[in-house]
């Protein structure tokens, strides 16, 4: 009897705690039916504070996330519950809800896998069959749409590349034309400069020729003698010639004087 009383002393608090947990979950369910999902979530969280392992509180909390369109959050909660239950019915419901959340995200291939897991447990689940057929019907369409988008993107990329190529070609042509004009202008400028240089050289050469001609004319002018100057030079030359002859004659006479006469004994 004593052991029974001790056991009851431990069980009664847990029973009261579980009863409070169910109350919070029930209050959350009422708000859930009213579509007051935020209020329902608060009650479920209160229930989990008292019993974090409560399947109903966790399951309904995941459903609230689904209703609030937080599909990835809902999937995480469903998957976590699936790790801690061996109940086939619970597993089937979890796979079904996972498939629905994936379907909302248009992840058709992944949702198909989830529905197949549901039907593996409950082959006659008509809602799972219906959703599976819908996902399978959307899968090729989605693939075709992806292919169309891919083709459109490819076409757009090709068009952009072609436009860029044309723009580059036009730019290259323009640059070549500008370079050609610049080169032609440069050649014209060089020709003009060469012409100016040649003209300057010709002028310098002409000036030099003129200077040389003037110098030559001046020299010729200097070489020309007036008649008076010519007579003076001629007289000077005659006078010089006469003096030279006189010197020669004097020298001869002096030599004769100095010559000894030999006696004829």
Confidence of residue 4 (pLDDT cuts 50, 70, 90): very low
Question: Contact 143/121 with Cβ under 8 angstroms?
Answer: no
- 43-57, 80-94, 157-171 — which is least confidently predicted? 157-171
The tokens for 248 are 């020669």
Distance separating alpha carbons of residues 115 and 121, to the nearest angstrom: 10
Reading the block at residue 163, the tokens are 């436009």
pLDDT of residue 256: 44
Indicate the fold that domain 19-146 takes in CATH: 1.25.40
What is the C-alpha separation between 159 and 171, in angstroms, rounded?
18
| Structure confidence by residue, pLDDT tens digits, 123-158 | 999 999 999 999 999 987 656 555 555 656 766 766
76 pLDDT exceeds 80?
yes
Rounded distance, CA 104 to CA 67, Å? 11
pLDDT at 75 over 80: yes
Domain locations along the chain: 19-146
Q: With contact defined as beta carbons under 8 Å apart, do 61 and 79 qualify? A: no
3 state SS of 240: helix
pTM for the predicted model, two decimal places: 0.50
Q: How confident is the model at residue 34 (pLDDT cuts 50, 70, 90)?
A: very high
Which of 90-94, 185-189, 227-231, 245-249 has the largest mean confidence? 90-94
Contact 34, 67 (CB under 8 A): no
Tokens for 104, please give them: 């909302």
d(CA 158, CA 165): 10
Q: Per mean pLDDT, which range of 4-8, 65-69, 236-240 is the poorest? A: 4-8
């Amino acid at each position: 009897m004593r052991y029974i009383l001790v056991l009851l002393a431990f069980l009664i608090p847990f029973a009261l705690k579980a009863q409070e947990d169910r109350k919070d979950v029930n209050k959350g369910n009422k708000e859930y039916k009213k579509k007051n999902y935020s209020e329902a979530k608060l009650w479920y969280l209160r229930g989990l504070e008292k019993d974090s392992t409560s399947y109903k509180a966790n399951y309904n909390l995941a459903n609230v996330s689904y209703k609030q369109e937080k599909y990835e959050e809902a999937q995480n909660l469903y998957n976590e519950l699936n790790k801690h239950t061996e109940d086939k019915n619970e597993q089937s419901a979890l796979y079904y809800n996972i498939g629905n959340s994936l379907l909302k995200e248009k992840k058709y291939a992944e949702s198909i896998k989830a529905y197949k897991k549901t039907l593996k447990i409950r082959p006659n689940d008509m809602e799972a069959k219906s959703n599976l057929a819908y996902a399978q019907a959307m899968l090729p369409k989605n693939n075709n749409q992806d292919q169309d988008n891919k083709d459109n993107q490819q076409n757009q990329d090709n068009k952009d590349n072609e436009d860029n190529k044309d723009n580059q070609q036009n730019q290259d042509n323009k640059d070549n034309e500008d370079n050609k004009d610049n080169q032609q202008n440069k050649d014209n400028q060089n020709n003009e400069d060469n012409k100016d240089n040649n003209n300057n050289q010709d002028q310098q050469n002409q000036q030099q020729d003129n200077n040389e001609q003037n110098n030559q004319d001046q020299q010729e002018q200097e070489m020309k003698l007036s008649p008076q100057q010519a007579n003076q030079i001629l007289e000077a030359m005659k006078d010089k010639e006469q003096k030279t002859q006189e010197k020669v004659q004097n020298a001869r006479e002096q030599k004769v004087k100095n010559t000894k006469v030999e006696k004829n004994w």
